[in-house]
Amino acid sequence: MIQLLIVDDERLIADSLAELLPWDELHINQVYRAYSGQEALQLLDTHPIDIVITDIRMPEFSGLELIEEIRKTNSRIKCIIHSGYADFEYAKKAMSSQVTEFVIKPASDEDILNAVRRMMNQLQEELQLQFSHQKVFDALKQQVPLMRSQFLHDLIKGKKIGFSELENKLELMNLFLRNDDPFALLVIRLEEGFQGFDQGSLSLYEYAILNITEETLREHFHVLTTRDVYDYLIVLVQHKDPTNGDSGHGTSKYSVLLEEMGLKLQKNVNTFLKGKISLIVSPWGSFPHDVPGLYQASITTVRRNVGNDREIFLTLTDNSLSTQVKSLRSLYEPPSLMQLFDIGQKELTLSKIDTIIKELEEHWADSQEHLLEVFLHFGAAFTYAAHKNGKLLEDLIGSDYELLIARKPFLSIRQLKNWTSNVSEQLYEDLNRDWIDAKSNTVMQIQQYVTHNLSMDVTLQAIADHVHMHPVYLSRMFKAKTGENLSDYIIRLKMEMSAYLLKETDARIYQICIEVGYQNPPYFSKLFKKYYGVSPQEFRESTPDG
């Protein structure tokens, strides 16, 4: 229910408005009155007023000053000026104070009631909008745990996120982390007591373990969790005093504390869930740059050092990481070469190849095994692209194919680079040729469809559905290939068919209109005149046999 306040230093006016107008018809259950600005402020402090009707000129405290005070404390309240002063300056000041109703004295009852109705409608719209925003916020809040998990999953996979996008994601998910903050990873492997369950039951155990993890660490650490493709639970932790950072020194206070909490976590899982876990604690790194590297190092440690052993607890050090042999990060971070070949982005593909080779040169220039890893990866991607295009790679690249089946590997990165460049160019030359042919074929399909359906309302969406393309891409492709907008092409064909029928048949104009897909003869005539400069009837009469 709405509550109204009427403010006027003339008691007769304030009392009349409060007592004589049918406020109950507007569902206003309470009408207050004040005879000065100060008295109005006191009522506003003690009552939930929704709408204020105020005079402008009052002693000591004007109506505009009252509205300014209202705006400072509650901008939701709607204000209506009711005054005999209608000069422009007052109106301008009122508008600057977000007053949207200005009723001139003497106003009729209906004028005042209509002004209040409009204010009530505004309040209702704002309430509905606020409710809608709250629904969106509540829905988003429910998705935040899933969004956080997916965010960490993307990071461990090596997905690159720009600084602005990163800041926006962190703020959206209300995460504790910021760029370059120190962090460490825990990798948890479920073992005895968690095996033999169906996926649903196992998911419940994983949920319980992550809850225990948060409870165990929450006093000293912020926690972000996910599950990786190997069914390991991954926990990113940041101590709650990031200014006391740990840049990788394993003997620092927080590294020791994290080890203590990790051992306690193993014990808690065993106590409450009657199961065992192995736990790997990474060194400290810088967020988010070091996330994929520390994750890969931790997973490698699980494979090499844990193996089939049970209930292992290991803490990695920077020294242990520096001696590890690693895969090339750029080789496996998304998007993959196969994905880039799928979308046909030549520049991105060549950039990806260049990045991989640079990493090979900078970090593994002396490793023949890494050279072989890159070569086999490139070969698989090239083969995939050829087969995807319905061709054999051997037929496309000729003599360069021999290196794929030769027993001798490359002797140098330079040789690999030259071979990769040659094969890429040959592949894209073939892909572009087929793409051009495919576009020509698509244009022919479009033209045939339009020609066969001139008697219908041929829409861009209908054509797109016919050739299985997105409407926007189809329109751009048609323009690029023919030099003519698709809509102009359709109109041209319809007008040319109309001209032919006007010349060669005795059909009435409204019949020709329907024949070329228009249901409105006046619109058809207008379009025809715009195209030929004369009306359909004039065009017919100008024809020698017409």
Q: What digits encode the pLDDT tens for the residues 374-392?
A: 999 999 999 988 887 788 9
What's the confidence (pLDDT) of residue 263? 94
Euclidean distance between CA atoms 204 and 483, whole angstroms: 60
User: Model's pTM, two decimal places?
Assistant: 0.48
Structure token digits, residue 471: 């409407």
Cβ neighbour number for residue 5 with a 10 Å cutoff:
24
Whose tokens are 């005054």? That residue is 83
d(CA 508, CA 107): 61
Taking the mean position of all CA atoms in its chain, how far away is CA 357?
A: 32
The pLDDT of residue 35? 93
| Residue position matching structure tokens 């068919």 | 497
Q: Which residues contact 526 (CB under 8 A, 6 or more apart)?
A: none
The DSSP bridge partners found for residue 223 are 237
Q: Given this model, what pLDDT does residue 156 score? A: 92
336 three-class SS:
coil
CA distance 30 to 36: 19
Ramachandran bin of 27, using left for φ above 0, alpha for ψ from -120 to 50, beta for the remaining angles = left
The C-alpha atoms of residue 256 and residue 252 are separated, in whole angstroms, by 6
Within a 13 Å sphere around the CA of 242, how many CA atoms are in the beta-carbon half?
A: 15
Residue 385 one-letter amino acid? A
Cα–Cα distance measured from residue 216 to residue 265, given in angstroms and rounded to the nearest whole number: 6
Three-state DSSP at 78 gives: strand
Retrieve residue 23's tokens.
Answer: 């406020």
Cα distance between the two ends of the chain? 74
Cα-only R_g, the chain: 37
Give per-residue burial for 28-58: e unless 16+ CB within 10 Å, then b: beebbbbbbbeebbebbeeeebbbbbbbbeb
User: What pLDDT score was predicted for residue 249?
Assistant: 40
Nearest to 245 by CA among 300, 180, 190, 188: 180
Helix 460-467 vs helix 486-504: crossing angle, to nearest 10: 110
Q: Tell me the C-alpha distance between 281 and 390, whole Å.
A: 47
**SS3 at position 226:** strand
Q: How far is CA 433 from the centre of its chain?
A: 35
Query: Phi and psi at residue 411, in whole multiples of 5°?
Result: -95, -20
99 phi-psi bin (left φ>0, alpha ψ -120 to 50, beta other): beta
Are 20 and 33 a contacting pair, CB within 8 Å? no
- Cα(317)–Cα(297) distance, rounded to whole angstroms? 11
Alpha helices in 194-317 (DSSP H): 199-217, 253-273, 291-301
Q: Taking each helix axis as running N to C, give the angle between helix 471-482 and helix 413-452, from 0 to 180 degrees, rounded to the nearest 10.
A: 90
Structure token pair of residue 502: 């006007």
Residues of the chain with pLDDT under 50: 87-88, 245-251, 546
What is residue 194's three-state secondary structure?
A: coil
Under 8 Å between Cβ of 8 and 35: yes
- Greatest extent of the chain over all pairs of C-alpha atoms, in Å: 107
With beta carbons less than 8 A apart as the criterion, state whether 44 and 113 touch: no
Question: Quick check: helix, strand or coil at residue 278?
Answer: strand
- Please give the single-letter amino acid code of residue 476: R
The string of DSSP letters for 382-393 reads HHHHHHHTT--H
> Is the previous residue joined to 106 through a cis bond, with omega within 30 degrees of 0?
yes
Q: How far is CA 32 from CA 23, 45, 77, 149, 509, in A?
A: 12, 13, 14, 54, 70
**What's the one-letter identity of residue 210?**
L
CA angle in degrees (0–180, nearest 5) for 298-302-304: 110
